[in-house]
Amino acid sequence: MTPLVRSVRSADTLTRDALAVLQPGFTGTTAPDWLLRRLGEGLVSVGLFGRNVADPAQLAALTGRLRAEREELIVAIDEEGGDVTRLEVRGGSSFPGNHALGAVDDTELTRAVARELGRRLADCGINLNWAPSADVNSNPANPVIGVRSFGADPQLVARHTAAYVEGLQSAGVAACTKHFPGHGDTAVDSHHDLPRIAAGLPTLQARELVPFRAAVAAGTRAVMSAHILLPALDAEHPATLSPAALHGLLRAPEAEGGLGFDGLIVTDGMEMQAISATYGIERGSVLALAAGADAICVGGGLADEGIVLRLRDALVRAVREGELPEQRLADAAARVRALAGRARSTGEGAAPAPGIGLTAARRALRITAAGPYRPLRESVCVAAFTPLANIAVGDETPWGVAAELTRLLPGTETATCTAEAAAAAGTAALIDGLLTAAAGRRLVAVVRDVHRHPWMADALHTLLAACPDTAVVEMGVPQAPPQGALHLATHGAARVCAQAAAEALTGRRPSPDE
């Protein structure tokens, strides 16, 4: 009877460890029964997305219900502020993103913004934020990082990454610095395919790794791996699945050229095509744990009980078949539980800083005038040149300046221009239609990363040739030279960035009751 008891106990421990390393998501604004059951069986983490958030009161009630089932629980969210927001997914963020903070280059401001964002998260019961992005945006063609990065200079990115980590964690929310070892030098979105970075180790050490070293020195409690292939580190496996990247670089002592990180290693979403289309989610998760990851993030796209059970069973099977060392799984589970026990769930340590986000957005605004410019006083026509949103941002979150301009100039209207419309009608016809819609009113053209979209650049050039007094608002990375009678670079598309731009265009700020 004794061997049977040992076997049952071992199986139960193994299953609980397999559940402990998962960070799954779910649908809806209340906790489903299956999730509550799995928390009782060993699940230690839950990931939240925009679909789970209605308002702060609902979110606090949701996290409270989860903690009623398991007190020591990691509740994580992807709240970068700026373009990537889950707290304010349907209205736009009250905080500018990293690129705006980098443009200001005031680390005290970055620290204050991160502290206030962390305070709001903590008040809602969230204790792990999958942020900040520490990627150096060295490739202007990058389709997924862009304004999510503090900038293209490694030292600037490093000092603001450290400030962000310190500010967020001072509010009681653990930071998860991403996307290790750096997603900035890619022209491919890992949501869709496997990016490859050809840089050698000296370049990685001097560029990509500089902000991550700063984050580790600042005490970041977690680091998220990237699904990117770096042959200089590992010619076969992307970083998430690479022992050389996770164990050999991130964990290795500084004396051996590593970062000496001893906190939680979290994977990026395993359902992303860079992993799922190449390895499959189950095998990818096993390889990630074996490589040194501690927590498997899944739930952005796959968010039901089935995926939790599939991954749990795959990890248990891998241990029993000798593919994943049992001790490696146990160590990973222990790290997850340690963070769950340490992380606070209230923001009592941070004093409120209302308006800090708008203050930062105003400071980040860069204005270039071709000559004297008359502020807008009457309703205008906003031409929104709209690219396809990347998956990290999502298409639920509004962007542009029309809503904020309408608050200041009632009657303002918007005409949306897309690549498909330009291809179908031709650029000249598209702009002719836009001018007809404007009906003699002044125009404001809103673009996003115009340097990455030839159709957008062509349409904007045609519009400015026909209507030179058009103001241009660039809400992405301002890589292209300023154009228009007035050019505003907001360094991001957060709601507060739009508000700062609208104020500059009209020359006035709304009163508090407007």
pLDDT in tens, 59-99: 999 999 999 999 999 999 999 999 999 999 999 999 999 99
Of 395 and 120, the structure prediction assigns the larger pLDDT to 120
Instruction: Indicate the burial class of 217 (C-beta count within 10 angstroms; 0-12, 13-18, 19 or more).
Output: middle
Tokens 């991403």 locate to 178
Please state, in angstroms and rounded to a whole number, the distance separating the CA atoms of residues 460 and 449: 12
Active-site choice (78, 268, 294, 449): 268
- Is residue 469 flagged as an active site residue? no
Q: Give yes or no for a contact between 204 and 250, defined as CB atoms under 8 angstroms apart.
A: no
Give percent above pLDDT 70 in the chain: 93
Active-site choice (191, 453, 487, 491): 191
Please state, in angstroms and rounded to a whole number, the distance separating the CA atoms of residues 208 and 161: 12
Q: What is the pLDDT of residues 104-151, one digit of tens each?
A: 999 999 999 999 999 999 999 999 999 999 999 988 888 788 999 999
Whose CA is closest to 212, among 150, 282, 273? 150
| DSSP-derived secondary structure for 18-30 | HHHTEE---SSSS
Q: What is the pLDDT of residues 306-345, one digit of tens each?
A: 999 999 999 999 999 999 999 999 999 999 999 999 865 4
- Is residue 123 flagged as an active site residue? no
Q: Is the dihedral of CA 367, 372, 377, 379 positive or negative?
A: negative
For residue 228, which amino acid is it? Answer: I
Give the mean pLDDT of 261-287.
92
Whose CA is closest to 18, among 231, 330, 290, 320? 330
Contacts of 318 (CB under 8 A, 6+ apart): 286, 289, 290, 324
Helix, strand, coil distribution of the chain in percent, nearest 5: 45, 10, 45
| The two three-digit tokens of residue 77, written as one number | 């969210």
For residue 15, which amino acid is it? Answer: T
Please state, in angstroms and rounded to a whole number, the distance separating the CA atoms of residues 110 and 160: 7
DSSP 133: B
To the nearest 10°, report the CA torsion of 285, 291, 297, 301: -50
149-158, 300-309, 345-354: range with lowest mean pLDDT? 345-354
Whose CA is closest to 24, among 318, 226, 271, 333? 271
Whose CA is closest to 308, among 12, 42, 125, 75? 42
Half-sphere exposure of 87 (CA within 13 A, CB side): 25
Half-sphere exposure of 369 (CA within 13 A, CB side): 7
pLDDT of residue 344: 57
Please state, in angstroms and rounded to a whole number, the distance separating the CA atoms of residues 433 and 58: 44
Is it true that the peptide bond before 143 is cis, omega within 30 degrees of 0?
A: no
